[in-house]
Amino acid sequence: MPMAEVTVIPLGVGPSVGRFVAECLRLVRRSGLRYRLTPTSTVIEGSLDEIFAVVREIHEVPFSLGAPRVVTVVKIDDRRDKPEDMDYKIRSVEERLGDADADAA
């Protein structure tokens, strides 16, 4: 399943952007898509159509709250030769690290 890491950066509204991020996240939740909030982004999992629709929607949030300019950064990771999801990706790296640390012991 494709996943997208999204950061919406409002300009011209002061350095604190938490209220914009919270409103974006509310829309992500309403979309019903699986997501994970990270310290710097929101990672969303879904079909490409679903992802593009929600990115399009949250890019509008700061404008609707008064921002004159928005920079939105999106990184889409789309793998089609085998199934994958957000949990799997993290778990597979952690498992490798566990093995490696054991080897190093």
Among 27, 47, 65, 73, which residue interacts with a copy of itself (rule: CB under 8 A)?
A: 73
Tokens standing for 37?
């909030």
In sequence order, what are the residues at sequence separation of 6 or more whose Cβ sits closer than 8 angstroms to the Cβ of residue 57?
27, 31
Contacts of 44 (CB under 8 A, 6+ apart): 3, 4, 6, 28, 31, 33, 34, 35, 51, 54, 55
Q: What mask, x for binding a copy of itself by CB under 8 A, covers residues 1 to 30?
A: --x-x-x-x-xx-xx-xxx-xxx-xx--x-
**86 counts as binding a copy of itself under rule CB under 8 A:** yes
User: Quick check: 33 binds a copy of itself (CB under 8 A)?
Assistant: no
Residues touching a copy of itself, count (CB under 8 A): 56
- The reply to whether 90 sits near a copy of itself by the rule CB under 8 A is yes
What lies within 8 Å, CB to CB, of 38 at 6+ separation is 5
d(CA 96, CA 98): 5
Interface contacts to a copy of itself, rule CB under 8 A: 3, 5, 7, 9, 11-12, 14-15, 17-19, 21-23, 25-26, 29, 36-41, 43, 45, 48, 52, 55-56, 59, 63, 67-81, 86-87, 89-90, 92-94, 96-97, 100
